[in-house]
Structure 1
Amino acid sequence: MSTSYKVKFWEHRVRLDRRMPYMVRWTVAGKEFSESYLTKTQADGRKSVLIVAARAGEPFDTVQGLPVSELREPDVTTWYQHSRNYVKARWKGAPAKTRTTWADALASVTFEMVSSKAGMPDKRIVRRALYTWGFNVNRWEQEPPPDVEKALAWIARNSLLVSDLSEAKMMRRMLEAASVLLDGKKAAPSTVLRKRRILHHVLGRAVEDGLLSANPLPQIQWQPPDIDEEVDPEVVVNPEQAAALIAEVGRQGKVGPSLQAFFGCMYYAAMRPAEVVQLERARCVLPETGWGRLILNASSPRVGSSWTDDGASHDARGLKHRAAKATRPVPIPPELVALLRAHLERYGTAADGRVFQTGPGGFVQESTYGRIWKQARSAVLNEADQATSLARRPYDLRHACVSLWLNSGVDATEVARRAGHSVAVLLRVYAKCIHGGEDQANELISQRLGRNAAKAPPKGA
């Protein structure tokens, strides 16, 4: 290695016509080197690091132009940079919703994975900057707002090295950060476990990249929170209540009538909202009488335009937990057939064939159907029921549908198929909503005891 102490720095060169317009320039033994950055703040930060190394008397490599310490350290990658590398490597082709979960998990811990909090901007600003820009690849080539740029620059300067995370205390700090909200309250158990799974994978990637010798997360004594996945029976409406609520939706102003069949799909076909908004007319079999059929093949969860590849607010995907081209045929009762036929006769379809649309042909928004549902619920339920969680969310209609199928004696395998669940998940999630099971079991036991009594020899024989 050839080194030199003759290091000279020049002013930045700015070329606004380039993607990375700010160029840091310096020479080592008369040989010119440069690095380009998106913002002036980033360029200033890099130049400061190089100047500190030169003033400390550190030799620079004459081939690469870098301080020797940067060449000798195999693990100079920071947690922030490694996390960004992880997101970038997995970004292409990933569902937009999955991208948001990565960003959420990483943003919730990264502002704690720092060497010092001196000069740290407000943590809410840092958290927002990390979520909306730091871990959103779609925005990396855009100029961030000043407060975001400042927060990210601070994180980049103070982020711990990945090698520092091998210490147990750092892993405990990470898990604690993943377990609380910004206001200090405990996060939901399912949220904590989801974040831990993501962080475990990110650290595993660090092992794969040679930044850590082993994943330190499993080595920590940590008690995962208990998760109650079962649906609370209190949220489940009966058929009469469901029909009354859906009818009341049709009386809610100009928008309500266009959403009756929307809510009907959730209750009578156990459809997820993201599946309903993507339902196409061509996949609806709606006879004049009797049962019909929906052939579901797609969903479009709303995630925000900055997370999708095409800039749309909804991310068109295949069915949840299914292969990309999988379909799910769902028989539908005459009640839903009638709702859909009436809806199509009155409103037609969107230009792309979707059954449900806003006035301009866009996707039905959560804010809209959530508001209408809240109004209908207030009109139908009495004060006592309104104070409970009964049908508090539109999604509870799906729970009510699955519960109805199970309580009607439909085989669990068929219920799981129609709802798009595995049988194991179905029985675990809806265990408390299967009414009548105890009475049936008692009857079977009584019958068996009765048979045994009949076969028993008479007393004294």
Structure 2
Amino acid sequence: MTEWSYTVKIWAIRKRDYRKPYQLRWKVGTRPHSESFLTSGLADSRRAQLISAARQGEPFDVDSGLPKSMVAKKRDISWYEHARNYIEMKWDDSPASTRRTLAEAMATVTPTLVKDSKGMPDARVMRTALYSWAFNKNRWGEDTPADVVKILDWVKRKSVPTSALSDGLLMRAALTTLSKKLDGKTAAAATIRRKRAIFHNSLEYAVEAELLADNPLTRIKWKAPEQVEEEVDPACVPDPEQAAKLLAAVRDQSPRGRRLAGFFGCMYYAAARPAEVVGLQLKDCDLPRRGWGMLRLNETRPRSGSAWTDSGEAHDKRGLKHRPRKAVRQVPIPPELVSLLRWHVTAYGTAPDGRLFQTQRGGLIQDTGYGEVWAEARSRALTPAQRRSPLAKRPYDLRHTAVSTWLSSGVEPQLVAKRAGHSVGVLFRVYAKFLSDGDEAANAKISARLGKHA
């Protein structure tokens, strides 16, 4: 952190018998400083700058001896350099999926933060170069392809200095860019919100690094062009009867499908996220012969791509989403899922590391693989009209079915949120339409209560 002082003393120029004979001396606080010049004119000019800054009430940096305005100019690195510094600062403590998100946000906004567009590369090609190379720290030590080097050299030359980020119009243009896809269409609300948050955080880091006096985004009155609600669309969510048909279609279609029946069952009966099921181990499952069992979810294995993980594997390994690293979510599971998982273990055993679900070769379940099985299940279990609709378009919709089933069954929202791994606020926001379905029942209860005192 810079130490500033308003106590400044500046002496007259003195001449000595050296190669640079004219010496300017001054003191900031208790620390002396000096600078030598070839001519008296240069020395007088620098002395005048220091005197002017002191008279205007500028604080001086004790270490460098320079007034704040000169320090800022000296530190004024380019946005591109700052963005890479920001990525480096965030990298080690970020999971692979977050690294990708950070790189995506920086790659989106950087082409806007340039001095001019003369010679600008193709937008899509430049986005790829920035995303895959400039803002992927894992690749900084690799040999960069010549075409990528050319693109990044252009960005380095054209990138605005960080001091230019104080320009409100430039910040507004950056926010607009963050709200658009490459084809010019408006991005999803969650994407806009995520990218804006990252950009805001990168500017906060610039303030910490004393590149900016304050965060310029706080002065911009900007609203995203489209605010799409986060609510789950009921049209996507299969009802229990449809879900049962889909699970049966998974089981009956092929040996690969039978191997994945329990995998999809965990999403439907336990509201588990796919990445949570990928890493589920037998030791974390209570599977009694009768009655309800229990899953203790404590790990996710999201597919982030080998370029973004420390291990070089396609799947990252981390704790539960938005929870402390060692958090455990206990989810009671009905006898139907207990029976399904017991059958699965009997039929297929476990992977060497104890994972419940594995490929035929013992590897991690891949999203492409289970996606193909799910697509085939839809074609078998749904009518042509349903297949054309968004109904159960993704396996993740089984999780939505689980949560909506719990809510419609009268389970308290706080308990539903706990089992699903949501905060209550997120539950009410995302599943609002399913909660509103209980209005009639709630009204009846209120009327019955009021009737007792009529």
Aligned position for 1:130:
130
Mapping 1:362-441, distance limit 5 Å = 362-434=363-435, 436-441=437-442
Aligned position for 1:202:
202
C-alpha separation in 1, matches of 2:435 and 2:378: 24
Aligned position for 1:246:
247
C-alpha separation in 2, matches of 1:72 and 1:372: 58
C-alpha separation in 2, matches of 1:183 and 1:72: 38
1:72–1:330 CA distance, 2 compared to 1 (3 A) = closer
1:3–1:450 CA distance, 2 compared to 1 (3 A) = farther
1:375–1:211 CA distance, 2 compared to 1 (3 A) = same
Matched residue count:
389
- One-letter amino acid of the structure 1 residue matched with residue 334 of structure 2: P
C-alpha separation in 1, matches of 2:72 and 2:439: 69
DSSP 3-state at the match of 1:329? strand
Q: State the shift of 1:236 in Å.
A: 1.6
DSSP 3-state at the match of 1:213? coil
- 1:407, 1:435 within 8 Å by CA — same for their partners in 2? no
Q: State the shift of 1:436 in Å.
A: 4.6
DSSP 3-state at the match of 1:340? helix
Aligned position for 1:96:
96
Tell me whether 1:261 sits opposite 2:262 in the alignment: yes
Tell me whether 1:302 sits opposite 2:303 in the alignment: yes
Mapping 1:20-419, distance limit 5 Å = 73-224=73-224, 225-419=226-420
Residues 257-309 of structure 1 deviation map (CA, whole Å, 9 limit, x = unaligned): 11110100000000000100000011111112221111111111110011111
TM-score (ref. length: structure 1): 0.81
C-alpha separation in 2, matches of 1:83 and 1:132: 14
Q: State the shift of 1:144 in Å.
A: 1.5
Q: State the shift of 1:445 in Å.
A: 4.4
- 2:107, 2:127 within 8 Å by CA — same for their partners in 1? yes
1:72–1:381 CA distance, 2 compared to 1 (3 A) = closer
C-alpha separation in 1, matches of 2:273 and 2:130: 30
- One-letter amino acid of the structure 2 residue matched with residue 201 of structure 1: N
Please report the RMSD computed on the Cα atoms of aligned residues, expressed in angstroms: 2.1
C-alpha separation in 2, matches of 1:72 and 1:177: 27
Q: Percent of counterpart pairs with the same letter?
A: 53
Aligned position for 1:9:
none
- 2:72, 2:211 within 8 Å by CA — same for their partners in 1? no
Residues 74-127 of structure 1 deviation map (CA, whole Å, 9 limit, x = unaligned): 243110100000110121121111111110101001012111222222111110
Q: State the shift of 1:71 in Å.
A: 9.3
TM-score (ref. length: structure 2): 0.82
C-alpha separation in 1, matches of 2:356 and 2:149: 43
* Runs of at least 5 residues in structure 1 that lack an aligned partner in the other structure: 5-69, 456-461
C-alpha separation in 1, matches of 2:19 and 2:96: 47
Of 299-308 and 357-366, more deviation after overlay is shown by: 357-366
1:108–1:450 CA distance, 2 compared to 1 (3 A) = same
Aligned position for 2:14:
none
1:444–1:293 CA distance, 2 compared to 1 (3 A) = closer
C-alpha separation in 2, matches of 1:151 and 1:391: 42
1:295–1:448 CA distance, 2 compared to 1 (3 A) = closer
Q: State the shift of 1:3 in Å.
A: 9.7
Q: State the shift of 1:73 in Å.
A: 3.4
- 2:271, 2:402 within 8 Å by CA — same for their partners in 1? yes
- One-letter amino acid of the structure 2 residue matched with residue 406 of structure 1: L
C-alpha separation in 1, matches of 2:319 and 2:385: 40
Residues 378-429 of structure 1 deviation map (CA, whole Å, 9 limit, x = unaligned): 1111122222211111000000001111111112121111111111211221
C-alpha separation in 2, matches of 1:212 and 1:346: 62
C-alpha separation in 1, matches of 2:449 and 2:296: 44
1:173–1:75 CA distance, 2 compared to 1 (3 A) = farther
C-alpha separation in 2, matches of 1:97 and 1:168: 31
Residues 335-370 of structure 1 deviation map (CA, whole Å, 9 limit, x = unaligned): 111111111111111111111112222211111111
C-alpha separation in 2, matches of 1:146 and 1:379: 49
DSSP 3-state at the match of 1:427? helix
Mapping 1:434-449, distance limit 5 Å = 434=435, 436-447=437-448
- One-letter amino acid of the structure 1 residue matched with residue 143 of structure 2: E
Aligned position for 1:55:
none
* Runs of at least 5 residues in structure 2 that lack an aligned partner in the other structure: 1-17, 21-69
- 1:75, 1:163 within 8 Å by CA — same for their partners in 2? no
C-alpha separation in 2, matches of 1:162 and 1:374: 48
Residues 150-206 of structure 1 deviation map (CA, whole Å, 9 limit, x = unaligned): 111111111111111111111011011101111111111110111111101101111
C-alpha separation in 1, matches of 2:83 and 2:369: 36
C-alpha separation in 2, matches of 1:3 and 1:220: 52
